[in-house]
């Protein structure tokens, strides 16, 4: 390569030849160049990308095989099957190569595999449900993680002092606190993989999953602080160091959230100007979200929290700005990347467990860790839930507490953190690695296998798979306004008051700044419904044997022409009676009169929750006397076109 590049740069080859062939005598004949090769094997040039593609292909084929049998996937979670597959593949590689070739590297996990999973979770997270339960989520994420870390670490140190841990496990109190900080955090990948298959109710899912996302800030701070204390030595730790550790909790968490919100603002603002270059809209979503993750990681902030807040903050504006095709591309690309990353993570967890050179076994440490993480997790959930139920309108019952305690799954985050430990500073690293592997396998496999029967046996409320009707949305908005008004009247600025203020601020400033004008202007929904009903009747007309000759032949006699439609209100247009459908929809001018806009504004006022909607069946033959009557498709003909206002 160098001999080819130097002539292109205008440099001589003499020095290079002398350097490459130092033993060649000046008078000896030079060897002739090799002839033209018809075939060359260049494995080393494509080894890395080929192996990546091969692992993803194997994982995808494994998922296909798993889902061929409904009985297997209904009993065993997919994450458990992937870990078992990783164990088998790791054993095969170890038997053939006599050493473990592939491992789950912390850098690969944190920089490439974890971001798409967290972005998918944050982008598609139900924002209202998340913020409605934000107090409980923060309590479990912050107080619960601190409780689990310190109690588990202190209990393991006490176990060692009692002589139940082997003397060869050389670890002090700070070492056990460091191990407790990484083993106590609930893993978002494992929780997402198991809880999505269990289909528990939305409140229970959002609390456990939200905790697993937000406790990253606490985990990162505790891990870094304890690791720094271990490297410094307990004798050199000053009182100011403890104060810095407490302050870093706020810096890491709030800083990560701020980075995510800044990039969410940039992403929403950028997509406002992509109307003429729709092709790059999905690319911008992924690039700026990934940039938020890398920026937070570079600044030693909570990267998981950054990308979560970026997805939460930008979705409303991005979805309004980008086209329908771009929304579809973003959705399925994000789901595909998250699924592939999750699959590879669980496979590599199984493969990494085969390498016995990186871990050492101690039964007392393993059994003590399993007992303490389960016991202190359950005790912490009970105590925190008792406090939270004093303030919640819908308290969490005992069954919910059992599922929350049992659903504290550990996963790849704990394994990656324990691999990062320095063996020279933490002599018991090998024992901690073995214990972490056992904890991950126990929580993902044993608890993952038994959580679904447990949910059925306890008769936990399951998730309802249906979109809310307009009647439900109307009453929900009505109660939001009533509760905000009550809080305003009594002078108590509570959750509903601030949410109402935020919605007003968003409508007045943010939406107008981050959305293009066509995205947030008031739409005439009556006109849209009329358009859709005509499309439906047109399709029905053609399916029943109608022949499309020309647009003029299919226009109803009662439909107004383009010249006169601007002077016709929506009310008069819908009063027109006729049979069949108007297939030539271009005869309807999209520029409405002042009366039409007034009708649309009044319709939206009614839609905001002032009146209870009434169901009326729509029939083209029926005369309609008011523009805000309730339209719905005929139940027997097309129930999916029911539209309520």
Query: What pLDDT sits at residue 274?
Result: 93
Task: For residues 346 and 443, give the distance between their C-alpha atoms in angstroms, rounded to a whole number.
Answer: 13
Stretch 443-456: mean pLDDT: 89
What DSSP state is assigned to residue 552?
A: H
Phi, psi of 125 (to 5 degrees): -70, 135
- The yes-or-no verdict on residue 67 having pLDDT over 70 is yes
Stretch 279-285: mean pLDDT: 95
Stretch 464-480: mean pLDDT: 72
Rounded to a whole number of angstroms, the distance between the first and last alpha carbons of the chain is 71
> What are the tokens at 372?
């303490």
Closest CA to 384 of 216, 128, 135: 135
**CB within 8 Å of 616: residues ≥ 6 apart:** 629, 630, 631, 632
Query: What pLDDT sits at residue 231?
Result: 86
Residue 30: pLDDT band (50, 70, 90) is low
Task: For residues 509 and 236, give the distance between their C-alpha atoms in angstroms, rounded to a whole number.
Answer: 52
- pTM score, two decimals? 0.77
Query: What pLDDT sits at residue 535?
Result: 73
Least confident stretch, 182-191, 412-421, 580-589, 626-635: 626-635
Task: For residues 271 and 318, give the distance between their C-alpha atoms in angstroms, rounded to a whole number.
Answer: 6
The DSSP secondary structure of 588-608, one letter per residue, reads S-S---HHHHHHHHHHHHIII
Residue 538: pLDDT band (50, 70, 90) is confident
Residue 336: pLDDT band (50, 70, 90) is very high
Query: What pLDDT sits at residue 583?
Result: 44
- Return the number of other C-beta atoms located less than 10 Å from residue 617's C-beta: 13
Stretch 475-492: mean pLDDT: 81
Closest CA to 51 of 457, 428, 485, 351: 351
- The yes-or-no verdict on residue 612 having pLDDT over 70 is no
- The yes-or-no verdict on residue 452 having pLDDT over 60 is yes
Query: What pLDDT sits at residue 293?
Result: 96
With vertex at residue 472, the alpha carbon angle to CA 470 and CA 477, rounded to the nearest 5 degrees, is 90
Task: For residues 338 and 119, give the distance between their C-alpha atoms in angstroms, rounded to a whole number.
Answer: 8
Query: What pLDDT sits at residue 38?
Result: 79
Least confident stretch, 160-164, 287-291, 524-528: 524-528
Closest CA to 388 of 209, 133, 126, 218: 133
Task: For residues 231 and 215, give the distance between their C-alpha atoms in angstroms, rounded to a whole number.
Answer: 24
- The yes-or-no verdict on residue 284 having pLDDT over 80 is yes
Query: What pLDDT sits at residue 180?
Result: 94
Phi, psi of 200 (to 5 degrees): -75, 170
The proportion of the chain whose per-residue pLDDT surpasses 70, expressed as a percent, equals 74
- The yes-or-no verdict on residue 227 having pLDDT over 60 is yes
Q: Which of 25-29, 181-185, 432-436, 618-622 has the highest mean pLDDT?
A: 432-436
Domains belonging to the chain, first-starting first, are 106-458 (1.20.1530.20), 472-539 (no CATH)
More confident residue, 31 or 301: 301
User: pLDDT for 106-162, tens place per residue?
Assistant: 999 999 999 999 999 999 988 888 998 999 999 999 999 999 999 999 999 999 999
Closest CA to 146 of 238, 209, 226: 226
Residue 614: pLDDT band (50, 70, 90) is very low
Task: For residues 625 and 636, give the distance between their C-alpha atoms in angstroms, rounded to a whole number.
Answer: 24
More confident residue, 224 or 556: 224
- The yes-or-no verdict on residue 621 having pLDDT over 60 is no
Closest CA to 542 of 534, 638, 577: 534
Stretch 637-642: mean pLDDT: 40
More confident residue, 160 or 463: 160
Sign of the CA dihedral 555, 559, 564, 570?
negative
> What are the tokens at 425?
């500073």
- Could you tell me how far CA 371 lies from the centroid of its own chain? 31
Average pLDDT of the chain, as a whole number: 79
- The yes-or-no verdict on residue 22 having pLDDT over 70 is no
More confident residue, 469 or 140: 140
Helix (H, G, I), strand (E, B) or coil at 167: coil
Task: For residues 275 and 515, give the distance between their C-alpha atoms in angstroms, rounded to a whole number.
Answer: 11
Query: What pLDDT sits at residue 193?
Result: 80
The DSSP secondary structure of 425-489, one letter per residue, reads T-TTHHHHHHHHHHHHHIIIIIIHHHHHHHHHHHTPPBPP-SPPPHHHHHHHHHHHHHHHHHHHH
Query: What pLDDT sits at residue 102?
Result: 78
Query: What pLDDT sits at residue 47?
Result: 86
- The yes-or-no verdict on residue 168 having pLDDT over 60 is yes
Query: What pLDDT sits at residue 371?
Result: 96
Stretch 465-488: mean pLDDT: 76
User: pLDDT for 231-248, tens place per residue?
Assistant: 888 788 888 888 988 898
Which residue's structure tokens are 């936990």?
460
More confident residue, 487 or 341: 341
For residue 512, the surrounding DSSP H or E stretch is: helix 511-514
For residue 88, the surrounding DSSP H or E stretch is: helix 78-97
Task: For residues 165 and 72, give the distance between their C-alpha atoms in angstroms, rounded to a whole number.
Answer: 39
Sign of the CA dihedral 519, 523, 526, 531?
negative
Please report, for residues 328, 343, 496, 522, the alpha-carbon distance to residue 64 in angstroms, rounded to integers and kept in the order given.
23, 12, 46, 46
Task: For residues 217 and 333, give the distance between their C-alpha atoms in angstroms, rounded to a whole number.
Answer: 27
Helix (H, G, I), strand (E, B) or coil at 376: helix
Helix (H, G, I), strand (E, B) or coil at 624: coil
Give pairs for 245-250: CB < 8 Å, separation 24+.
245/221, 248/221, 248/224, 249/217, 249/218, 249/221
Least confident stretch, 210-219, 273-282, 507-516, 572-581: 572-581
- The yes-or-no verdict on residue 376 having pLDDT over 90 is yes
Which residue's structure tokens are 């060869």?
168
Stretch 297-316: mean pLDDT: 93
More confident residue, 188 or 472: 188
- The yes-or-no verdict on residue 28 having pLDDT over 70 is no
Residue 26: pLDDT band (50, 70, 90) is low
What burial class does residue 631 get, using C-beta atoms within 10 Å of its C-beta: 0-12 exposed, 13-18 middle, 19+ buried?
A: buried
- The yes-or-no verdict on residue 262 having pLDDT over 80 is yes
Residue 52: pLDDT band (50, 70, 90) is confident
Residue 378: pLDDT band (50, 70, 90) is very high
């Amino acid at each position: 390569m160098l001999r080819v590049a130097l002539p292109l740069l205008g440099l001589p080859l003499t020095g290079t030849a002398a350097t490459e062939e130092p033993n060649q005598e000046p008078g000896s004949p030079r060897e002739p160049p090799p002839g033209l090769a018809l075939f060359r094997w260049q494995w080393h040039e494509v080894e890395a990308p080929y192996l990546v593609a091969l692992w993803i292909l194997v994982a995808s084929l494994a998922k296909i095989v798993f889902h061929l049998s409904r009985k297997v996937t209904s009993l065993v979670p997919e994450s458990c099957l992937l870990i078992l597959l990783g164990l088998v593949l790791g054993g095969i590689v170890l038997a053939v190569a006599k050493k473990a070739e592939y491992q789950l590297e912390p850098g690969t996990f944190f920089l490439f595999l974890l971001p798409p999973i967290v972005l998918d979770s944050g982008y598609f997270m139900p924002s209202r449900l998340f913020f409605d339960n934000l107090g409980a989520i923060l309590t479990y994420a912050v107080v619960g993680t601190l409780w689990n870390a310190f109690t588990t670490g202190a209990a393991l140190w006490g176990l060692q002092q009692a002589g139940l841990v082997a003397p060869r496990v050389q670890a002090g109190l700070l070492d056990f606190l460091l191990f407790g900080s990484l083993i106590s955090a609930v893993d978002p990948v494992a929780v997402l993989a198991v809880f999505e298959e269990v289909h528990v109710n939305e409140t229970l899912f959002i609390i456990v999953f939200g905790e697993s996302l937000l406790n990253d800030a606490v985990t990162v701070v505790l891990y870094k602080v304890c690791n720094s204390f271990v490297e410094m030595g307990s004798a050199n730790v000053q009182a100011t160091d403890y104060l810095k550790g407490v302050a870093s909790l706020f810096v890491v968490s709030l800083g990560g959230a701020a980075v995510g919100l800044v990039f969410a603002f940039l992403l929403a603002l950028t997509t406002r100007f992509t109307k003429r270059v729709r092709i790059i809209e999905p690319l911008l979503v992924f690039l700026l979200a990934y940039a938020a993750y890398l920026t937070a990681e570079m600044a030693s902030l909570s990267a998981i929290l950054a990308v979560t807040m970026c997805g939460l903050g930008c979705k409303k504006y991005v979805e309004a700005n980008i086209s329908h095709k771009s929304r579809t591309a973003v959705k399925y690309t994000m789901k595909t990347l998250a699924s592939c990353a999750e699959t590879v993570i669980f496979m590599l967890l199984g493969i990494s467990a085969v390498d016995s050179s990186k871990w050492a076994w101690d039964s007392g440490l393993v059994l003590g860790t399993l007992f303490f993480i389960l016991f202190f997790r359950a005790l912490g959930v009970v105590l925190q839930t008792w406090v939270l139920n004093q303030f919640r309108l819908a308290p969490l019952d005992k069954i919910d507490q059992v599922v929350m305690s049992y659903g504290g799954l550990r996963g790849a985050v704990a394994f990656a953190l324990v691999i990062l430990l320095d063996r020279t500073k933490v002599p018991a690293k090998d024992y901690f690695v073995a214990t972490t592997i056992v904890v991950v396998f126990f929580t993902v496999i044993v608890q993952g296998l038994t959580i679904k029967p447990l949910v059925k046996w306890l008769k936990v409320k399951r998730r309802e798979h249906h979109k809310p009707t307009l009647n439900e949305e109307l009453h929900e908005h009505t109660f939001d306004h009533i509760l905000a008004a009550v809080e305003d009247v009594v002078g108590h600025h509570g959750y509903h008051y601030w949410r109402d203020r935020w919605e007003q601020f968003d409508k007045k400033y943010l939406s107008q700044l981050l959305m293009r004008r066509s995205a947030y202007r008031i739409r005439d929904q009556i006109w849209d419904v009329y358009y859709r009903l005509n499309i439906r009747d047109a399709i029905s007309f053609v399916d029943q044997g109608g022949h499309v000759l020309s647009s003029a032949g299919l226009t109803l006699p009662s439909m107004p022409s383009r010249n006169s439609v601007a002077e016709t209100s929506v009310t008069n247009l819908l009063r027109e009676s006729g049979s069949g459908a108007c297939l030539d929809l271009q005869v309807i001018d999209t520029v409405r009169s002042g009366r039409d806009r007034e009708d649309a504004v009044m319709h939206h006022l009614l839609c905001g929750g002032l009146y209870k909607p009434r169901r009326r069946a729509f029939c083209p033959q029926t005369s309609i006397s008011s523009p805000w009557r309730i339209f719905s498709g005929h139940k027997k003909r097309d129930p999916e076109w029911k539209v309520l206002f």
